């Protein structure tokens, strides 16, 4: 059976908000957490990887609160990473899942790292793909080109600015097929999604919602086996940022993909899927 948005779509209510997720496959549970950006959703990030990964795992691709079709609090009163991490715990509770693997891209990588730190017993192995808040950029400009493009889009959403963001995601612009671009631009034009993205990012820059310790300062406490995947030409979370977590995480391996930007799961799809399956089934 061909896996589609419609036949994999499921719903769960967490803290009074309906969250959409996509489910396929059987075996060890694997929660996939998308990044941020114009027109983002769980399916937009991982839908093309689902057929392969679902042959090995019970895959749960979550639309995090406010993104895709998921609901959200009207006002964010905490750092968004905490809101999203709690939503994942709520999903696991509702489905009766005690422990799951986590795979997070960009912002979703930050959510996965925070969840593993705060709820270690609920997490098995962790894949962090160019994770937000985990890397430390010491040489390149701050914010990075990709984050700057996203902030420009947040300030004044338009198709032109959304395209600027999408181009910063990839090494080879041929990756941005007409279908991919059309789908992302249509989703990016939704005012509800624009507001959710803007509000989530506002929590990252609000001093009142800052963590007592940033994620990168807590990495030595993360004892899980971790596989970090990074594109060599990432313009959102530059690859130099991988060096600090590669040293600090006690049980982590780092793999760098050539000819690849921020979207390892798109530009190096087959290699990404092989690496994830090998690691989650056999460990480091």
Q: How confident is the model at residue 137 (pLDDT cuts 50, 70, 90)?
A: confident
Range ranked top by mean pLDDT from 26-35, 143-152, 207-216: 26-35
The yes-or-no answer on residue 262 being catalytic is yes
Report the pLDDT value the prediction gives residue 80, as an integer from 0 to 100: 97
For 13-64, the pLDDT digits (tens) are 999 999 999 999 999 999 999 999 999 999 999 999 999 999 999 999 999 9
Report the pLDDT value the prediction gives residue 152, as an integer from 0 to 100: 94
CATH number for the domain spanning 70: value is 3.40.50.1820
Report the pLDDT value the prediction gives residue 149, as an integer from 0 to 100: 95
Of residues 34, 101, 224, 262, which has the active-site annotation? 262
Report the pLDDT value the prediction gives residue 140, as an integer from 0 to 100: 84
Q: How many structural domains does the chain have?
A: 1
Checking if the pLDDT of 142 tops 90, the result is no
Residue found under tokens 């789908």? 183
Report the pLDDT value the prediction gives residue 236, as an integer from 0 to 100: 96
Question: Distances from the Cα of 197 to the Cαs of 36, 60, 202, 253, 269, in angstroms?
Answer: 7, 22, 9, 31, 26
Q: How confident is the model at residue 138 (pLDDT cuts 50, 70, 90)?
A: confident
Domain hosting 13: range is 5-282
How many other C-beta atoms lie within 10 A of the C-beta of residue 98? 10
Report the pLDDT value the prediction gives residue 52, as an integer from 0 to 100: 98
Average pLDDT, the chain: 96
């Amino acid at each position: 059976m061909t896996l589609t948005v419609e036949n994999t779509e499921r719903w769960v209510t967490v803290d009074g908000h309906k969250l959409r997720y996509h489910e396929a496959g059987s075996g060890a549970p694997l929660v996939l957490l998308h990044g941020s950006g114009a027109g983002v959703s769980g399916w937009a990030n991982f839908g093309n990887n689902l057929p392969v990964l679902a042959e090995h795992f019970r895959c749960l691709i979550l639309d995090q609160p406010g993104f895709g079709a998921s609901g959200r609090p009207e006002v964010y009163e905490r750092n968004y990473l905490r809101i999203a991490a709690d939503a994942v715990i709520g999903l696991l509770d509702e489905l009766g899942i005690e422990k799951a693997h986590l795979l997070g891209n960009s912002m979703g990588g930050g959510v996965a790292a925070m969840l593993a730190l705060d709820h270690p017993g609920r997490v098995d192995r962790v894949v962090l793909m160019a994770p937000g808040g985990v890397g430390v950029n010491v040489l390149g400009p701050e914010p990075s080109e990709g984050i700057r493009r996203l902030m420009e889009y947040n300030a004044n959403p338009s198709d032109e600015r959304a395209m600027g963001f999408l181009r910063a995601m990839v090494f080879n612009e041929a990756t941005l097929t007409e279908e991919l671009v059309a789908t992302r631009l249509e989703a990016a034009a939704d005012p509800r999604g624009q507001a959710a993205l803007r509000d989530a990012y506002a929590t990252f820059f609000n001093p009142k919602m800052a963590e007592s310790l940033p994620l990168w300062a807590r990495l030595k406490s993360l004892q899980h086996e971790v596989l970090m995947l990074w594109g060599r030409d990432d313009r959102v979370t530059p690859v130099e940022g991988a060096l600090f977590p590669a040293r600090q995480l006690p049980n982590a391996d780092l793999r760098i993909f050539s000819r690849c930007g921020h979207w390892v799961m798109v530009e190096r799809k087959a290699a990404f899927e092989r690496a994830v399956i090998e690691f989650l089934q056999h460990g480091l």
